[in-house]
Structures are given as C-alpha cells and as structure tokens.
C-alpha cells in the first residue's frame, strides 16, 4: 500500500492565522477535491496527520476537532473521495509533551503499521518544517508548501 499523508490547516483547509475548530470556519481549499480525487485514482490511501494543540491549551475540545473532520469526510465523500483515516495530536509542547505531536513521528508510525503502508512509495504534504521532519523520520518523502497553496503540484510528482 502507498499513501499520501496530509497536514490539515494550510494544506486541506485555509490557514486563518488562528485555530480552526468550528465547522463554519473550515474552508476547504479549491485544489483539494480535484487533486485528492486524482491521487486516490492512482491507488493512494489518503491520511490526515494534524497537530491540534488548541485542545491542550483548553481553547477547544476533541468533539470540535471530530466535527471538523466529519465535515471534511462528508465533503470529500460527495466527490467520491474516501479519507482513509485521521490522526491528530491533542498535545502542545508548552502544556503536554508527546511523541505523537509533529515533529514527532508517532502518528505516521501508527498509520504505516495499521494500514501496512510502504513508506518508500508514500508522500507527505505539509506547510511547516515539522511536517517534513516527521515524515522523513519514517522514510516518507515530504513536500513543504506555502500555507494555502494549491496541491496541483502533486501531478508532477506522483504516478
């Protein structure tokens, strides 16, 4: 199996400069649906890997994150896209240390093991160096993009 791992804020939904935890603020970027549909047709699993440190800070809760992810899954499914799984870390380094918070690689390690993914055939897209550090720690090639960029560049890199 091969997978495309994706950071959330700034890659899937618009980075607003503040925590996105309410569905009404969850603005899916324009290139997401067509690009993920194409990637899925190439046989990649689609897996979200996201830090949600606002939980540790007490700004929002697990249910808020789940609601945003349910909304995302429903919107993708309307277009025939299946989000295989979502892994999120509720930790923040100022409040609670954890190996799963990126740049730690535990969320990726779990996904690789659960879905028997070949890291050497897989990719990660993130808008922060910590996303790339996490992916490269487990042998997954990372693509660092500017927040809110198009995912169309993947058409030149995946096959």
Distance CA 44, CA 121 (A): 9
Distance CA 25, CA 32 (A): 16
Count other C-beta atoms under 10 Å from residue 31's C-beta: 15
| Residue 131: active-site member | no
Place of tokens 């779990």: 110
| Residue 7: active-site member | yes
How far from each other are the two terminal CA atoms of the chain, in whole angstroms? 14
Place of tokens 């025939």: 80
Q: Which two tokens stand for residue 72?
A: 């995302």
DSSP string covering 8-29: SBTTTB---SS---SGGG--B-
Q: Which two tokens stand for residue 126?
A: 């993130």
Q: Which two tokens stand for residue 119?
A: 């890291």
| Residues labelled as active-site residues | 7, 9
């Amino acid at each position: 199996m091969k997978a495309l791992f994706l950071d959330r804020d700034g890659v899937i939904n618009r980075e607003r400069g503040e925590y996105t935890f309410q569905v009404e603020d969850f603005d899916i970027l324009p290139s997401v649906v067509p690009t993920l549909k194409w990637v899925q047709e190439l046989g990649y699993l689609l897996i979200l890997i996201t830090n949600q440190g606002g939980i540790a800070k007490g700004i929002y809760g697990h249910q808020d994150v789940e609601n945003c992810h349910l909304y995302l899954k429903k919107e993708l499914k309307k277009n025939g896209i299946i989000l295989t799984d979502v892994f999120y870390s509720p930790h923040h380094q100022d409040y609670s240390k954890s190996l799963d918070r990126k740049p730690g690689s535990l969320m990726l390690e779990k996904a690789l093991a659960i879905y028997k993914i070949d890291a050497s055939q897989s990719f990660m897209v993130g808008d922060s160096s910590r996303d790339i550090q996490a992916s490269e720690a487990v042998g997954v090639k990372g693509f660092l993009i500017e927040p809110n960029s198009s995912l169309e560049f993947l058409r030149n890199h995946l096959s």
